[in-house]
Structure 1
Amino acid sequence: MISSLRGVVSHVGLTSAVIDVHGLGMLIQATPQTLATLRTGNEAFIHTAMIVREDSMTLYGFTDADQREVFEILLGVSGVGPRIALAVLAVHTPEAIRVAASSGDDKAFSKVSGIGPKGARRIVLELADKLVPHGTVENPAAPRWQEQVLAAMTGLGWSEKDATAAIEDTAAEYPDIAAAGNVGEILKLTLRRLGTDGARTASRRKAG
C-alpha cells in the first residue's frame, strides 16, 4: 500500500492533483482544502490512502495523518464510501468530526452533500465509540452513551419515558455491554426488547 507521496506537483484540478514521483505521475483525489496547499512546480508531501477495487486503484491524499485516520474510520461506517468520507472532510475538520460523533450531533453530518438524516444518524451511532476528541479521557461509566441511545430512540418515535425505561432494563440485563458504553449494540438490544409492534405504537403516541 502507498501511505505517502513526496514529489513535484505537476497538475492541480478541482478535485484531484498529479504529483510527479521520480518521473511517475501519481493521481490523487483530495479535498479542496488539501488541493489549496499544492502549487504546480513545487515539491509536496502528501499522506495517502489507497482504495483497491476489482476495476480500479484510487489514491486519496491528505495534508496530515490525522485526516487520513478519520477518513479510514469513516469508511468503516455502513453505506459510507470514499467519496462520502472525503466530502465529510471537505466540510469538517477531523476534530470537528470527532466532536460531532462523540456528542451525537447528527445535524453536523447532514450538512454534507449526499448524507440524509438517516445516514447522518447511522454515522453518529457507528462512530460514537470510535472517534473521541483529542484530550478527552474516555470514561466507561459516563452516561454519554445513554443520552445517545435515548436520542436515537426518540428519533425513531419512542416517547422519552418508554425509551428510558427500556434502556435501563437493557443495561441491567447486559451490564458488561453497558459498562463498555457500546452505543450501537445497546440500541440494537433495546429495540429487540421492545419489538417492532411496540415501536409502531410508540410512534402513534408521539404523533398524538
Structure 2
Amino acid sequence: MIAHLSGTVLTANDTSLVLNVSGVGYRVHAPQEVLVKAAPGEECALHTHLAVRETALELFGFLEEHDLRLFELLISVSGIGPRSALQILNLAPAEVLIPSIKKGDTTHLTKVSGIGAKSAQKIVVELKDKLEGFSFESGADEDDADVLDALAALGYSQGEAREALKAVPPEAATPQERIRAALAALSQ
C-alpha cells in the first residue's frame, strides 16, 4: 500500500495535515509531535499506514519508523482502532510506552478516552511478548523513557522532550544527569 510520503505541507489542523505530493494532496492523520512541526510550505517525509474500512481509506503518518511499528502493533489488538492508537501515541511517546507495557504498567494507556482498565490490561497482555525484540533506531532505552516522563510531567510536549533528549551528551549516565542536561538544552 502507501508506506511513505514525502512532500510539501499544504495545511495542518489539530488532527491531520494535507501533504502535497507531486500535485496530489493526501490527508494524513498524525500524532501531535508531527502536527506541531508541520508548517504550511515546509517539506515533510512520513512513514505511513493506510487504514482500510468499509466506507473510508485513511492515512496515518509518523516521523519515525519505530512509531509506525508501535502504531501497527497497537491496532493489532482487538478493539483498538487507528484513532485510539493515535491517541495513545499522543499521550506518551514510544520510548515511554514500550518500557511501561513490558513492565505491565497500564497508567499511560488508561489516560486515553475510551480505554479503561480492562482494555489497557488486554493491550499489555497481547503486546508484552511482541515488544521484547522491539528496538529503537535512535538508541533510546529505559533511562530515556524516565527522562521523557519527567519532562512531560514538567509540561513539555513530546516533541520538545525528544529534541532535548537528542542534545543530552553521552557522558550523562544516570537518569538524573540526563534530565538536568535535557532541561539545560530546553532553557537555551
User: TM-score of the superposition, structure 2-length normalised?
Assistant: 0.69
Q: Aligned equivalents of 1:119 and 1:129: distance in 2? A: 17
Q: 2:58 maps to which residue?
A: 58
State the one-letter code of the partner of 2:67: Q
Q: Aligned equivalents of 1:53 and 1:78: distance in 2? A: 15
Structure 1 spans left out of the alignment, 5+ residues: 136-208
Q: Aligned equivalents of 2:78 and 2:30: distance in 1? A: 22
* Cα displacement (A) at 1:134: 3.7
Q: 1:44 maps to which residue?
A: 44
* Cα displacement (A) at 1:131: 1.2
Q: Aligned equivalents of 1:78 and 1:21: distance in 2? A: 33
Q: Aligned equivalents of 1:16 and 1:37: distance in 2? A: 12
State the one-letter code of the partner of 2:53: R
Please state if 1:20 is matched with 2:20.
Answer: yes
Q: 1:86 maps to which residue?
A: 86
RMSD over equivalenced CA pairs, Å: 1.3
State the one-letter code of the partner of 1:56: A
1:1-208 residue pairs with structure 2 within 5 A? 1-132=1-132, 134=135
Identity across the alignment (%): 39
Asked whether the 8 Å contact 1:95–1:134 carries over to 2, the reply is no
Q: Aligned equivalents of 2:60 and 2:125: distance in 1? A: 25
Q: Aligned equivalents of 1:4 and 1:27: distance in 2? A: 13
Structure 2 spans left out of the alignment, 5+ residues: 137-188
Q: 1:195 maps to which residue?
A: none
Q: Aligned equivalents of 1:134 and 1:124: distance in 2? A: 17
Larger Rg: 1
Which of the pair is proportionally richer in helix?
Answer: 1
* Cα displacement (A) at 1:114: 1.8
Runs of 4+ in 1 over 6 A off after TM superposition: none
Q: Aligned equivalents of 1:61 and 1:2: distance in 2? A: 10
Moved more, 126-135 or 26-35: 126-135
State the one-letter code of the partner of 1:97: L
